[in-house]
Amino acid sequence: MPTTNPVTAIPAADGASALAHFRAELQFETDCSDVSSAFAGGTPGFVLLDVRSPTLFAQGHVPGAVNLPHGKIVESKLASYPMDTIFVTYCAGPHCNGATRGAIRLAQLGRPVKVMRGGITGWLDERFPLVGSDDGQGKFSLSSTTPC
């Protein structure tokens, strides 16, 4: 006898539909672990964009990231990158939509783009290091009051 609850009230997709959905999801997103692994390999094949403010970037950012706030993503800032350069955007974390805003701007400029799920919050949750300023004890204090 099936049980109805908030999870089962809407039936799960069939296997083929689920496969298409989840494969498509990975065309738009990546995660912190995959980004870290790509950088560890030495040739990631993408540009990692920290789309937060320069202040937050200086406080702590993913090693190898380039700072370009989402509101400043314009073609002239991307001129040195070939049109087929893949960009991966990130911001403060799942509570922030800066990475999505940056991805939209890149897509509007015809650039291939993915979002790194989790942002700085996810990066720290995975226990990956940040580079930038710290509190002198090796701990980063990222301001939650400064907008991304």
CATH number at residue 117: 3.40.250.10
What is the total count of domains within the chain? 1
Give the up-direction half-sphere exposure of residue 56: CA atoms within 13 A in the CB hemisphere. 23
Residue 99 placed within a domain: yes
Region 29-47: mean pLDDT is: 97
Q: What is the pLDDT of residues 39-98, one digit of tens each?
A: 999 999 999 999 999 999 999 999 999 999 999 999 999 999 999 999 999 999 999 999
103: containing domain: 27-126
Residue 6 placed within a domain: no
pTM for the complete prediction? 0.86
Q: What is the pLDDT of residues 112-135, one digit of tens each?
A: 999 999 999 999 999 999 999 754
Two tokens at 134? Answer: 């710290």
Q: Would you list the DSSP string of 5-23? A: STTTSSPPPPHHHHHHHHH
Beta strands in 16-140 (DSSP E): 29-31, 47-50, 66-67, 87-90, 113-117
Cβ(120)–Cβ(140) under 8 Å? no
Residue 136 placed within a domain: no
Other CB atoms within 10 A of residue 85 CB: 15
Residue 87 to residue 64: CA distance in whole angstroms: 13
Judged against a pLDDT cut of 90, whether residue 141 lies above it is answered with no
Residue 41 placed within a domain: yes
pLDDT band for position 140 (50/70/90)?
Answer: low
pLDDT band for position 33 (50/70/90)?
Answer: very high
